[in-house]
Amino acid sequence: MTDPSSRIKKTFEETETYFRGQYKGYTIEIEREEIHPLIGYDYDDPEILFSIHVYNPEISFGTLYDGYAPKHVETMRQAKSEALRGSQLVKETP
């Protein structure tokens, strides 16, 4: 199976911690965030999460994906693939 992230052809902005691009007219925005645990935990060991938003161009304020990627997603490339799969713009093939 090919990596779904390679299907994203239009990139507006991409850094190590931020991505904004488009797939089939849907805008994809991903941000790598360091989430610090609650007081009482090891504050020097933040959790790294990817915030993903996939916007539907047909609906004002409509989103197909609005939340954090699962914890096993560790790279921007994995986050892009998760955005496509999680929004169901790309179907899983067995």
Domain residue ranges in the chain = 4-86
Model's pTM, two decimal places? Answer: 0.82
Give pLDDT tens digits for 11-65: 999 999 999 999 999 999 999 988 766 655 555 566 778 999 999 988 877 899 9
Output the pLDDT for position 41. Answer: 56
Output the pLDDT for position 38. Answer: 65
Q: CA torsion, points 83, 77, 23, 10, in degrees to nearest 10?
A: 150
Cα-based distances in Å from 65 to 7, 18, 27, 42: 17, 16, 11, 30
